[in-house]
Structure 1
Amino acid sequence: MNILGGCEIFLMEEKVIYTMGYGGREFDEFVELLRFYGVEVVVDVRRFPTSKREEYKRENFERLLTERGFKYVYLGDLLGGYRSGGYESYMETSEYKRGIERVIELAEKYRVAIVCCERLPWRCHRRFIGDTLRERNLKVIHVIDKDRIWKTLL
């Protein structure tokens, strides 16, 4: 596991897929993080897209992000966590593979962030999604904070 700072080394022209969690952040702080990394499309991978905080409930989250200029795509039905039999088994299904293909299609046109609640990627199913994308030769960076990222080495 590598935790790196100094994220400015990742230039805007590079094709990168980010993952990030909104947990523990005010909505405006989360939006600032998205803008810092140049994100254009937020891919919500929460299986159950609700929250105790109103701004993170799916319908509000989508509306608020759209109002701030982001495109919102919900893929929690295909890529969301909490699967019976475990997430690693779920990764072998056609639904999971369809979700991965959709992320790749979006990443060909936009700068994408795969998002759910958990801030730390090693505690979240985003790490599995990231590993799958890396196996497909895509660059994935798990964002923890503005100046802190986590990169796994495959």
Structure 2
Amino acid sequence: MGEFLELLRSWGIEIVADVRRFPTSKKHPHFSRENLGPALKEAGIEYVFLGEELGGYRRGGYEAYTETEGFRRGLGRLEELAVQGKTAIMCAERDPRGCHRRYIAAALAARGFRVIHILGPGKSRVEESPLL
């Protein structure tokens, strides 16, 4: 958890938006929702769970889900957070290319938000080509 918090601090993250559909981890229990929220709060970082609206594993695939009212509603909530403070979108996958976050990032970029994928300490990539 310490390395994760340090990474967030190094980027000046104020809000973590958790977009995991199932916010639990047997392998890393400190990243389960019930542990992560309080740890982030203690570090001065707001935790917001958006897995209901923006979580992965959707029937028919996530790309199709991006056309739904549920996705638009979740994206609207995420946009509100991004306006309030520097926001990180969190899921279980480290690389967004293999994660539904790529669709969320593309939608945000298409709406004019600057999206930077934090890949690890000293590693990042700017979202350049919206998928949607």
Fold in common (TM above 0.5): yes
Aligned partner of 1:89 in structure 2 is 64
The within-5 A match list for 1:121-132 is: 121-132=96-107
- Cα RMSD of the aligned pairs, angstroms, is 0.8
The answer to whether residue 19 in structure 2 is matched with residue 45 in structure 1 is yes
Deviation at 1:145, TM superposition (A): 1.1
Look up the match of 1:117.
92
Which string of whole-angstrom CA distances, capped at 9 and with x for unpartnered residues, describes residues 83-130 of structure 1? 010000000111100111111111111110000111111011111100
Q: Which has the higher strand share?
A: 1
State the partner residue of 2:5. 31
Of 36, 42, 51, the match for 1:61: 36
1:145 and 1:61 map into 2 onto residues whose CA distance is 18
The C-alpha deviation readout for 1:25-64, integer Å capped at 9, x for no partner, is xx11000000000000000000000001221111111111
For 2:2, the aligned partner's letter is: D
Q: Using the alignment, how far apart are the partners of 1:64 and 1:129 within structure 2? A: 25
The higher relative CO (CA closer than 8 Å, separation ≥ 6) is in 1
Structure 2 unpaired stretches of 5+: none
Q: Does 1:108 align with 2:83?
A: yes
Q: Give the total of aligned pairs.
A: 128
| Amino acid paired to 2:98 | R
Superposed structure 1 runs of 4+ greater than 3 Å apart: none
Residue aligning to 1:150: 125
Is the 2:23–2:33 contact (alpha carbons within 8 Å) kept by the matching residues of 1? yes
Aligned 8 A contact 2:114 2:127 in 1: no
Separation in 2 of the partners of 1:104 and 1:36? 22
Distance in 1 separating the partners of 2:82 and 2:21: 21
Q: Which residue of 2 aligns with 1:19?
A: none
